[in-house]
Amino acid sequence: MAANQHSITSPILGTVFKVKVNIGDQVSAQQEIVILESMKMEHPVEAGVDGTITQIHISEGDTINTGQILVSLEPGKVDNSSPTQQKVTTSSERADLAKLRERKRLTTDEARPDAVQKRAQKGQRTARANISDLVDEGSFVEYGTYAIAAQRQRRDVEDLIANTPTEGLVGGLARVNGHQFSEDDARIAVASYDYTVLAGTQGFINHRKKDRLFSLTEQLKLPFVLFAEGGGGRPGDTDAAGVAGLDGPAFALFARLSGLVPLVGITSGYCFAGNAALLGCCDVIIATENSNIGMAGPAMIEGGGLGIVKPTDIGPIDVQTINGVVDVRVANETEAVAVAKKYLSFFQGATSNWKRHDDHIMRDLVPEQRTRIYDVRKVIDALADIDSALELRPTFGIGIVTTLMRIEGRPVGVIANNPAHLGGAIDSDAADKASRFIQLCDAYDLPIVSLCDTPGFMVGPEAEKSAQVRHFGRMFVTAGSITVPWVTIVLRKGYGLGAMAMAGGGFHSNAMTVSWPTGEFGGMGLEGAVRLGYRKELESISDENERAELEAKLIARAYEHGSALNMATHVEIDDVIDPAETRQRIRAIVGSTKSWRAREGKKRPMVDSW
């Protein structure tokens, strides 16, 4: 071989599939000259240097070894105008990408204008529109985009592609509130049933999609947002083997997320059966005015021989808010998404751009007249950072108010007695409401602030019909199981077992118990205590005016004995404070932000669905 010859050798063991040059051809360094085949795969070999082909040592079909000479060339400048140097260019898209792009288009709202219009006529949005509104722009990574209903035995594939896009479930990973929190803290998983596809029913393939998302959520420890509108199980799928499908893991997988990650349920329109079962597992349920939520839809009710009912008669919003199923009632899906973002933010960390009210306004929120009612929500709003409070279940268990809010950017959970209802006495519903809220806060490391103003638990024969003994016990055992800081602020009344429950089990069972100057304390209400404790003395006085005068003196003495300042002298509470100091006292206890994400596994087995 001449000294100026360059040899191009085989990089692999294989067969010559194609020789792409002839002797005398001018080639560039990046030009393919030979294609080899090995293990059914094509391996192009480039020239490596510019030059002119002088010899071809192989023929198509030859078996060659690694290092064997394929072609020789004489290095040198080449004429780029040579036909062998001209690259083929095309303005058309590759066929595989074009096919993918068209298939992708068929999954979008733009491909289904009639379905979108029908939703708009009902005042509702599509699944994709709701997700787009929820998540940060450009952050949604979809899973299972090209799924179709498992009905190939009864419908052709083109029909399924056109009319059952994404198999009625749009889901994936995204970020929410990324402008406020770090990328890791902003990450969530989301899924939305698509009511425009087979009424949002749960089919064989979309169950597989859910299973995948639920498992992924557990693995990555991401909050999950579920748009749950839909009609439950689907009887029309034909491609799945089996009988009843009761061995599917979706419900167990989703339930297993409870207590591990925050679960947010949103519903609008009809939400029945399996869709409602998933919704009921969520930590919070946000529902629109047009919602109907029930464990069975009209068909199942009729099939059970229970009569013919309209879907709008099943679990309307008024029923589901008063009974405590719905945590937050909203006008429409736009508002629902806004509330979901706000709710998620409490579990994403502290914020630095907060604004607060003047501390001094808290001094006048509790009347000096000890028997005059007041609005405890004004106390909560004054204590909270401006526009940060979000009340849950406001029309259920109304004797206790449960609110998520921030104090100087730090998220906390607040339970507060409502003196405008039963004088602040705690009934069974209020006890249940408080107990579940305490679990929620503890599961995700939110400190608890308790605003106490209660004469105790509700009493009387009628009250006991509601199984109060068990419901009240729930407050004690729940509080006894938590590890987050608990601060109790006694606004006025702190009586009996109810006050102890509002302090996490007792005034020294929490991180701090302090009282405003209006605080008053006792084993039971002062008037009742005087009438019971001094019954003989009072009954021995026949003159009504004289008896009333003695009773008033005894009550005044009892009030002085049970005053906040006297309690403090016995160190039964930690301090009596100026109401304007309340925020500072709370911040001293709650400290810096903790992240539930850093914890291995669950802190609690679950958050009680009730």
51: in domain: yes
- Do residue 443 and residue 543 come from a single domain? no
Judgement on whether residues 490 and 533 belong to the same structural domain of the protein: no
The residue range of the domain holding 397 is: 359-519+563-597
Mean pLDDT for the chain? 91
pLDDT score for 238: 82
- Cα 381 to the center of its chain, rounded Å: 24
Do both 337 and 423 map to the same domain? Answer: no
Write down the pLDDT at residue 248. 81
Closest CA to 203 of 161, 166, 156, 153: 166
* Res. 83: pLDDT tops 60: no
- Decide if pLDDT at 345 tops 60: yes
Return the closest-CA partner of residue 489 out of 564, 558, 547.
564
Of 511, 515, 517, 557, which Cα lies nearest the Cα of 534? 557
**262 & 303 share domain:** yes
Confidence class for position 81, pLDDT limits 50, 70, 90: low
Single out the residue in 345, 371, 406 at which a domain terminates: 345
Q: Tens of pLDDT along 52-66?
A: 999 999 999 999 999
88 domain residue, yes or no: no
Tell me the pLDDT tens digit for each residue of 379-388.
999 999 999 9
136-141 contacts at long range (C-beta below 8 A, 24 or more positions apart): 136/174, 136/175, 136/176, 136/177, 136/178, 136/179, 136/186, 139/174, 139/175, 139/178, 140/172, 140/173, 140/174, 140/190, 141/172, 141/173, 141/174
How confident is the model over 140-162, as a mean pLDDT?
A: 92
The reply to whether 458 falls in a domain is yes
Question: Mean pLDDT over residues 96-110, rounded?
Answer: 93
Q: Where are the strands (E) in 344-485, listed by range?
A: 390-392, 400-407, 410-417, 448-454
Within a domain: residue 351? no
* Residue 580 lies inside a defined structural domain of this protein: yes
262: tokens are 């925050």
Q: What is the full DSSP assignment across 176-221?
A: SSTTTS-HHHHEEEEEEE-TTTGGG-B-HHHHHHHHHHHHHHHHHT
User: What average pLDDT does the segment 24-31 reach?
Assistant: 92
Same-domain pairing of 293 and 406 = no
Do the domain assignments include residue 192? Answer: yes
Quote the pTM value: 0.87
CB-CB neighbours of 322 under 10 Å:
14
Identify whether 117 is part of a domain: no
pLDDT over 70, % of the chain: 95
CB atoms within 10 A of CB 93: 11
Residues 356 and 383: their CA atoms lie apart, in Å, by 8
Instruction: Give per-residue pLDDT as tens, 188-241.
Output: 999 999 999 999 998 888 999 999 999 999 999 999 999 999 988 888 888 777
Q: Which two tokens stand for residue 523?
A: 């084993």
Looking at residue 484, its pLDDT comes to 95
Asked which of 174-188, 227-241, 268-282, 568-582 is least confident by mean pLDDT, the reply is: 227-241
Q: What is the CATH number of the domain that holds 340?
A: 3.90.226.10
Average pLDDT over residues 259-282: 96
Residue 103 is assigned to a structural domain of this protein: no
pLDDT at 469 over 80: yes
pLDDT band for position 364 (cuts 50, 70, 90) = very high
d(CA 435, CA 440): 9
Same domain, 172 and 221: yes
Instruction: Give 502-555 pLDDT, tens digit per residue.
Output: 999 999 999 999 999 999 998 666 666 666 666 777 777 877 787 777 777 777
Inter-CA distances, 552 with 549, 555, 563, Å: 5, 5, 16
Residue ending a domain, choose from 78, 110, 136:
78
**Can you give the pLDDT at residue 137?**
96
Per residue in 394-433, pLDDT tens? 999 999 999 999 999 999 999 999 999 999 999 999 999 9
Average pLDDT over residues 4-30: 92
Pair (372, 236) in one structural domain: no
Shared domain check, 567 and 544: no
pLDDT, tens only, 426-462:
999 999 999 999 999 999 999 999 999 999 888 778 8
pLDDT band at 82, cuts 50/70/90? low
Q: Are 318 and 412 in the same domain?
A: no
How many other β-carbons are positioned within 10 Å of the β-carbon of residue 228?
27
**Cβ–Cβ under 8 Å, residues 31 and 84:** yes
Say yes or no: 330 and 400 in one domain: no
Judgement on whether residues 20 and 162 belong to the same structural domain of the protein:
no
Residues 281, 136 share a domain: yes
What residues pair up with 264 in beta bridges, in sequence order?
A: 225, 284
Evaluated on CA atoms 85, 91, 92, 98, the torsion sign reads: positive
CA angle 304, 318, 421 (to 5 degrees): 125
The answer, yes or no, to whether residue 86 has pLDDT greater than 60, is no
Q: Is 604 in a helix, a strand, or coil?
A: coil
Residue type at 364?
Answer: D
CATH number at residue 63: 2.40.50.100
- Total domain count, the chain: 4
Q: Convert the pLDDT of each residue in 111-121 to its tens digit.
A: 999 999 999 99
Tokens 């950072």 correspond to what residue? 385
**Cβ atoms 415, 488 nearer than 8 A:** no
Of 78, 112, 141, at which residue does a domain stop?
A: 78
Q: What is the token pair recorded at 457?
A: 């638990």
Containing H/E element for 265?
strand 263-267
SS3 168: helix
Phi, psi for 489 (deg, rounded to 5): -110, 115
Question: What does the pLDDT read at residue 525?
Answer: 64
The β-bridge partners of 16 are: 36
